[in-house]
Amino acid sequence: MTLSERLNHIVDLIPPCECLADIGTDHGYVLIHCISKGICNKGIATDVKKGPIDIAIKNLKKYRVINKVDTRIGNGLLPLKEGEADVIVIAGMGGNLIANILKEGRHIANTAKYLILQPMQNPELLRKFLVNNNFKIVDEDIVKDDNKFYHIIKVINGKEEAYGKEVLYYVGKILLEKRHPLVKEYVDYKIKGLEEILKSVPKDSLRFNELAYLLNEFKEVREWLQR
């Protein structure tokens, strides 16, 4: 089975574990890969809808790992029992939805060693939620797949200081610290996008000021990266 670039980078951040839970599993590829490669011994595949779970079951059977995976229908982390999964993946959903899933299932998230989160949009909302809610970001990756950027965030339960600058929630502090090879391209892409949006925002509005401030922070980051 060949994984997409996005899924490849997600599985690269998953540490060896006993039980991996894949929340919003859809096709089930993350678990199929991790069990086949011995990254985890067993897994739990969940989805809020029956259709995706049926697809996952079909694929888990096809790749002969169905006996190692429990499949469950339900919302977010709620189909899991506390302490059942030592690593939890929540990938392919919006940053806001992932934050809500963590909020509603906090008692379950608390019992996992690591959570691997991959927002499709608004990574900044998710990072802000994490930092303000006692999740500590311990590693990050960014990947470009099909001409789109995807952030992948690995967290543990633990305290993290609020970021001094708004832009850090957008770019990712760890991606900057490690000068990730894609981070400059991402910053350039965001600068271009912000400049474009600003053209259509009234100059005397609060929104204009906020966006202009953020654009300035992005430009400072670009300068820092060029040093």
Identify which range of 92-100, 125-133, 194-202, 219-227 contacts ligand SAM by CB under 6 A: 92-100
Q: How far is the CB of 23 from ligand SAM (least distance, A)?
A: 5
Nearer to ligand SAM, 102 or 171 (CB): 102
Query: Is 76 among the residues that bind ligand SAM (CB under 6 A)?
Result: yes
Closest CA to 48 of 77, 27, 28, 69: 77
- From edge to edge, which strands make up the β-sheet containing 69-73? 69-73, 40-47, 17-23, 87-93, 114-119, 148-157, 135-145
- Within 101-140, the residues that bind ligand SAM by CB under 6 A are 101
As measured in angstroms, the least distance from the Cβ of 48 to ligand SAM is 4
Given the complex with ligand SAM, which of 48 and 176 has the nearer CB atom? 48
Residue closer to ligand SAM, measured from CB, 52 or 172:
52
Rounded CA Rg of the chain: 19
Residue 58 in the binding site for ligand SAM (CB under 6 A): no
Beta strands in the chain (DSSP E): 17-23, 40-47, 69-73, 87-93, 114-119, 135-145, 148-157
- Binders in 11-50 for ligand SAM, by CB under 6 A: 23-26, 46-49
Contact 22, 44 (CB under 8 A): yes
Angle, CA of 90, 95 and 125, to the nearest 5° = 135
Of 3, 63, 70, 75, the one binding ligand SAM (CB under 6 A) is 75
**Positions that interact with ligand SAM (CB under 6 A):** 23-26, 46-49, 52, 75-76, 91-93, 97, 101
